[in-house]
Amino acid sequence: MTTANDLALLSDKARAFIHRDKGLFIGGEWRAASGGGTIGVVDPSSGEEITRIADASKADVDAAVAAARRALGDSAWADLQPFRREALMLRLADAIEAETRSLAEIETLNSGKLIGNTMLFDAELPVHSLRYVAGWASRLNGETMDLSVPYLPDMRFSGFTRRYPVGVVAAITPWNVPLCMAVWKLAPVLATGCTIVLKPAEQTSLTALRLAELCAEVGIPDGVVNVITGTGAGAGRMLVNHPGIDKINFTGSTEVGREIAVSAARNFKKYNLELGGKSPLVITESADLDQAIPGAAWAIFGNSGQNCCAGSRMLVHEKHYDAVLAGVREIAGSIKIGPGLDPQSQVAPLSSRLHRDRVSAHVEAARASGADVFGGECLDGPGSYFSPAVIAGLDHGHSTAQEEIFGPVLCAFSFANDDEAIALANQTRFGLGASVWTRDIDCADRYFDALEAGTVWINTHNILDLAMPFGGDKESGVGHELAREGVLSHTRLRSGIKARPSR
Ligand code: NAD
């Protein structure tokens, strides 16, 4: 395979950013890590180091949290009227929109993802996200009510609620949709008047650093947005354990989410967790196969399977099983695998060699157990290319069918009736997404009620919208992101009770 000479393909703006020194953005200023540590950033399509980022130390984490705390109480932010916060968010959206191409290029170079994918999901979706959430800044209302207070019959009371910013938010993001995740964490912070310390994934921190530059350029007051880079076990852990943090907003693996929940509980911090998944995709007897077969293929091969909701367990009615398996394998075998910056590529490399080794180990474990494996090979040459895998004949309890792989690996199973399908679909510790494919409305309703997942799709998969709350059941998360719920979770509700004169 020929790999693109990625740096040469970049726009001047993206290239200039890649060549700039990368520091920590704390209190409106850029600084190197106090311990002098740095981390190499690798282009997954070539395997080459493209730049280095700072590795924040404890002193840096302390400084970032202190800057965020100061900004939270500073009148430059605390007294800013809601419509002015909204205006700042709209300016940030405009600034991102003005450079979607270079942001997408940086993201593709850093994450390996397809340029079409980073344009849509890392560059353009954040613009829409900021514009959607900006409107909430001036709509954060409480309620008023007449109270009964039955044990004081001669008195009258009125009640009211008011929302306040929850405080300093620690936001930690994964490497699969880096800029989008960073903006999804930032937007409700700005809308509600909170402040943030953002730590992006160490593998893909570049666009978060560019986002920090844009925040400064549009005039967000110093200290409101702080971005520190570093490892999860280092800066990430120090940040979530920091006593100056009021809320943790984490997206990442279930294992790290569990550690964060324990740490947050110890200090009564608020938190929400968007975690892993092993999402079922159920093709029922009444499905339209022309729709379901490509739907199933792209539910797992899109973004090289590096989606938290990827449809990694395909359950097919026995009547359609052979046709669906053959159809999905045909798509898997015809996919053009190549560098993310090549517009002809349909599947890009995995995020790193280390990750590819993990994905490959899951496929090999299935092969060793006697399953019928199509594809699933590490491709020769530089970079971390991996061919999509479709596995049949695996025991549903096998670790490859139960653990999140986060790669283009589909496990297929057949079922005889809907009861069996629902039982299989729910046989997982995760509960993030699920889809059902059917032309029968009663069947759709039945699955919608029975599937244990935060989001259930009907005749589609992996679609998210800003207006829909997004969150996981079971071990896939706590709380919700996006929509009204995602914004309100950044507020503290205070109840007020006022005695009124008797008539
Ligand atoms: P990860 O949990 O290893 O890392 C995520 C982030 O947490 C990174 O920034 C990392 O540096 C940091 N981190 C790691 N250890 C930490 C610790 N002990 N304390 C604090 N921070 C720590 O996950 P990943 O491999 O980067 O991302 C893939 C995972 O993210 C998958 O499980 C995927 O399903 C999940 N994910 C979930 C959603 C969702 O919305 N539910 C979306 C995208 C990804």
Asked if 274 is an active-site residue, the reply is yes
Run of H or E including 212: helix 206-217
Mean pLDDT of 464-475: 97
pLDDT above 60 for 174: yes
pLDDT at 4 over 80: no
- CATH architecture of the domain formed by 14-275+478-492: 3-Layer(aba) Sandwich (3.40)
Say if ligand 1 is within 6 A of residue 346 CB: no
Which percentage of the chain shows pLDDT scores above 70?
A: 99
| pLDDT at residue 52, rounded to an integer | 97
Q: Is the CB of 472 under 6 A from ligand 1?
A: yes
Strand order in the sheet with 409-415: 372-375, 389-392, 409-415, 313-317, 280-283, 433-437, 455-458
Indicate the average pLDDT of the chain: 97
Is the pLDDT at 49 greater than 90, yes or no? yes
Extended strands (E) in 332-408: 372-375, 389-392
Residues 6+ apart with CB under 8 A from 328: 293, 296, 297, 314, 390, 410, 412
Does the annotation mark 194 as catalytic?
no
Cβ 110 vs Cβ 50: under 8 Å: yes
Q: How confident is the model at residue 5 (pLDDT cuts 50, 70, 90)?
A: low
Which residue's CA is the closest to the ligand 1 atom numbered 13? 232
Residue 3 binned pLDDT confidence (cut-offs 50, 70, 90): very low
Residue in 176, 260, 312 to alter for ligand 1 test, most ligand atoms within 8 A of Cβ: 176
Measured in degrees and rounded to the nearest 5, phi and psi for residue 102 equal: -70, -35
Pick the residue whose CA is nearest to atom 42 on ligand 1: 308
Q: Which tens digit of pLDDT belongs to each residue from 293-312?
A: 999 999 999 999 999 999 99
Helix (H) or strand (E) holding 322: helix 321-334
Instruction: Give the atom of ligand 1 at the shortest distance from the alpha carbon of 308.
Output: 34
Answer whether 124's CB lies under 8 Å from 103's CB: no
pLDDT of residue 93: 98
CATH of 280-466, one of 3.30.230.10, 3.90.700.10, 3.40.50.720, 3.40.309.10: 3.40.309.10
- CA angle (67 as vertex; 66, 68 as ends), nearest 5: 90
pLDDT tier at 8, thresholds 50, 70, 90: confident
404 lines ligand 1 (CB under 6 A): yes
Cα atoms in the 13 Å half-sphere on the side-chain side of 400? 32
Which residues lie across from 198 on neighbouring strands?
Answer: 171, 227
Q: Would you say residue 336 has pLDDT above 80?
A: yes
**174 C-beta closer than 6 A to ligand 1:** yes
1 lines ligand 1 (CB under 6 A): no
**How much distance in Å is there from the Cα of 198 to the middle of ligand 1?**
13
Cα separation, 503 vs 501, whole angstroms: 6
pLDDT digits (tens, 9 = 90+) for 83-127: 999 999 999 999 999 999 999 999 999 999 999 999 999 999 999
Reported as a pLDDT band with limits 50, 70 and 90, residue 6 is low
How many CB atoms are located within 10 Å of the residue 89 CB?
A: 25
Backbone angles phi, psi at 270, to 5 degrees: -75, 155
The pLDDT > 90 percentage for the chain reads: 98
| Catalytic option among 180, 194, 215, 308 | 308
Q: What is the pTM of this model?
A: 0.96
The confidence score (pLDDT) of residue 213 equals: 98
Q: Is residue 501 very low, low, confident or very high in pLDDT (cuts 50, 70, 90)?
A: confident
Question: How far away, in angstroms, is 73 Cα from ligand 1 center?
Answer: 30
Tokens, residue 296: 């199933």
Would strands 491-500 and 477-478 be described as parallel, antiparallel, or unpaired?
Answer: unpaired
173 CA to centre of ligand 1 in angstroms? 6
Q: How many CA atoms lie within 13 A of 83 on its CB side?
A: 0
Average pLDDT over residues 357-384: 98
Is residue 176 in contact with ligand 1, taking CB distance under 6 Å?
Answer: yes
pLDDT value at 375 more than 70? yes
Q: Which atom of ligand 1 is nearest to the CA of 237?
A: 19
Q: How many A from CA of 252 to the centre of ligand 1? A: 2
Closest C-alpha residue for ligand 1 atom 19: 237
232 lines ligand 1 (CB under 6 A): yes
Mutate to test the pocket of ligand 1, among 65, 203, 237, 251 (most ligand atoms within 8 A of CB): 251
Q: Which residue ranges make up each domain of the chain?
A: 14-275+478-492, 280-466
